[in-house]
Structures are given as C-alpha cells and as structure tokens.
Amino acid sequence: MMNKNFYAVIMAGGIGSRFWPVSRQNRPKQFIDILGAGKTLIQLTYERFSKICPPENIYIVTNESYRDTVREQLPDIQDEQVLCEPIMRNTAPCIAFACYKIARLNPDAVTVIAPSDHLILKEDLFGDSIEKAMTTALGQNVLLTLGIVPSRPDTGYGYVQYTEKKLNEHFHKVKTFTEKPNLELAQTFIRSGDFLWNAGIFIWNVKALKGAFERFLPEMHEIFQEGAPYFNTKKEADFIRTAYAQCTNISIDYAIMERADNVYVMPGNFGWSDLGTWGSLHSVKEKDERSNAINGKQVMTYETSDCMVHVPENKLVILQGMENFIVVDTGDVLMICKKSAEQQIKQIAGDVRQKEGDKFS
C-alpha cells in the first residue's frame, strides 16, 4: 500500500541544449525517445515514480509552452498535476511553486524532486533508495539528497562531500557541495573516497523545505506564502505569473543546499546517468565491436570506432576512418563534432540561433 503522504515533483522545463540538434526548443530531450527504448525520458521517469507515489500525487513542473506535450505523453495525469512556469527561473522557484502548492493540499507531505531526463538502469535499487529517503524525511527537519558513487573523475558533474557523522544507517552529513571541477580536482575527489556525484535528486517534507526557504530565501518564501490562498484554485495561474516576475533566477543547490546545516546524503549505485551530453549517451548505449553506439537502421562503418551516431532510420549513412566523433543528422541539420569538444555544442546551438534565427533551434 502506497503512503498517501508521498509526492513526486518531476522537473521538465529545460531545453537540453547540449543535445542539439535533436533537442529543440519546441521538443526538448525529455520529450524524445533518445535511448531508443520505445518511451520518452519523461515517460520513463513518470513510470519510475508511479511505483513509489500514488499517481495522483505526481506533479510535473514545465514551461507553459510544453503543457500540451506533457498531457499527450502522460495521458494518465490530470490538468492540475501539470504546473506551468510562465518563464524560466532555475530550480529554486520551480521547487517552491510545487512544494508550497503541495503543502496547501497536505501539510504532512514528503516530496521527492527529480529531473525528467535522467537514466536509471537499476530501477529496483533506485526505488528502494527513494523509499528509504522518504521514510527518513517523514516528520524530520532535514534536507536529503542522493549521491552517486563515482566510477570515474568526471568533470561534467557536481560533487557532494560527506562526513562520518550519520543521521541513520543510510544518510551521512554533507560537508560540501562543489560545482563541476577541473580534471585534477575531480581526480583528487575520487582518491579521497568521500565524494559522490550530485544527482540533483532531493527529498524533504514540506515543512522542512518551507523553513529552509524562510531562512535562506526570505523574499521568495514571502512571495509563495502570500500565494497560499490561490493555490489549487482558478486564480493560481495568475498568481504564478505575478510571483515568477518577482523571483530571483537561482538554483536550489546554490540558494539552500550549499548553505543549510541539516543536509544529508545517501550514497547510491543504481546505474545513474544525467544524460547531459551525447558522450554520456554513448557511454550507456549498446555498442558494436568497435565501441560505436548507433541509432539508425542503415549505417555502415569502416575503420570507425568510439563514435556516437544518431541518424534517420531511412537514411543510408557511411562512415570511414572516424574515431571519437558525434555524428547527428536530423534531416534539416547535420552535425559532426569531436566527442572531446561536446561541451561546445551548447555554444554552437547559440551561434546557429544568432546566424539563422529560431529556424534550427
């Protein structure tokens, strides 16, 4: 029997610009079957949480322009479960919107906050971790997060350092959060053995979260607290438009998690990837004998290895003598890029927008 106080908030407002040219403004990567699994990333995320939380307790926070896409891809949810942001304002306002709304419905709610576009290979282990975290958060003034046991010194992830002090058998006190480090620092983190990748998954009860907002973001707390009478009414959308216009553009990590002293982390190892880049997709996809990950039915390779290839099914593609490349063909855009330069893709997408307007974005 599912706990009626368990709620999930799935954040689905991002553009996924590092997955350009497949991820576009009108259909970002969370709405695409980028894994070739027959389901989009948001559908897989919703299914994951529907095993933990009652379906009516799952909320999707997205941009107003994606409302219809969310409803089309998740037909089981009701209109009131889709929370539409009028403008992009990073994760702190997004989380405040969802949690203050849920608090109005159920002051005993425990919420798990998660991105809509991550990969979890070991679903059962993940579900166990989330349930342990939500049970721990019930009635306790704590902010919890899941950290991933690192398998390499990755410079694309943030890191969480923890201490020996424990909340219970699962959760360690957090010492520091570090933004994406350079390689040398990442290697030091791995050697020290007390650092985890920051998965951006948070668990807390709504009272603890509101207390943290009141302490560290008092202006934002005041905005959403004053809106309490409008939540879950016809006036909610108008209130949110006004509220977002007043909100600072700030992440929950920077605003609260890095500053609070009641933050605890549970190390996890459940086959997680944030699928942030084409290279991260290459690392989790099935590959041929020369380590090429290929999405496409008619691809022929010669002396080609370690490539990520994503091309239309009806297009014959021949690759010769390529090593460590990303090859993406969307019909209107062909991009060939070194895997080592994949962090430039966001910049490339911006340059294309400047030169060509919104035609390819």
Examine the domain organization and report whether 32 and 111 are in the same domain.
Answer: yes
Kindly state whether residue 198 falls inside one of the protein's structural domains.
Answer: yes
- Alpha helices per DSSP H over the chain: 41-50, 67-73, 91-105, 123-137, 183-192, 206-216, 218-226, 236-246, 252, 278-284, 345-356
Domain boundary among 232, 252, 273: 273
Per-residue pLDDT of the chain (361 residues; tens, 9 = 90+): 789 999 999 999 988 888 999 999 989 999 999 988 899 999 999 999 999 999 999 999 999 999 999 999 999 999 999 999 999 999 999 999 999 999 999 999 999 999 999 999 999 999 999 999 999 999 899 999 999 999 899 888 999 999 999 999 999 999 999 988 999 999 999 999 999 999 999 999 999 999 999 999 999 999 999 999 999 999 999 999 999 999 999 999 999 999 999 999 999 999 999 888 999 999 999 999 999 999 999 999 999 999 999 999 999 999 999 999 999 999 999 999 999 999 899 999 999 999 999 999 8
Question: Are 108 and 226 found together in one domain?
Answer: yes
Q: Are residues 266 and 292 in the same domain?
A: no
Q: Is residue 1 part of a domain?
A: no
Q: Which pLDDT does position 156 carry in this prediction?
A: 85
- Is residue 240 included in any domain, yes or no? yes
* Number of domains making up the chain: 2
Same domain flag for 268 and 301: no
Tell me which of 206, 239, 273 is where a domain ends: 273
Residue that finishes a domain, picked among 273, 305, 338: 273
Residues 268 and 295 in one domain: no
| Residue 164 falls inside a structural domain | yes
Same domain, 321 and 263: no
On whether both 207 and 341 belong to a single domain, the answer is no
User: Is residue 170 domain-shared with residue 235, that is, in the same domain?
Assistant: yes
Do 201 and 241 fall within a single domain?
Answer: yes
Does 146 share its domain with 117?
yes
- The span from the CA of 328 to the CA of 294, in Å, is 10
- Quote the domain boundaries for residue 335: 278-356
Residue 361 placed within a domain: no
The CATH number linked to 28 is: 3.90.550.10
pLDDT of residue 10: 98
Residues 247 and 224 in one domain: yes
Same domain? For 179 and 318 the reply is no
CA distance 202 to 138: 14
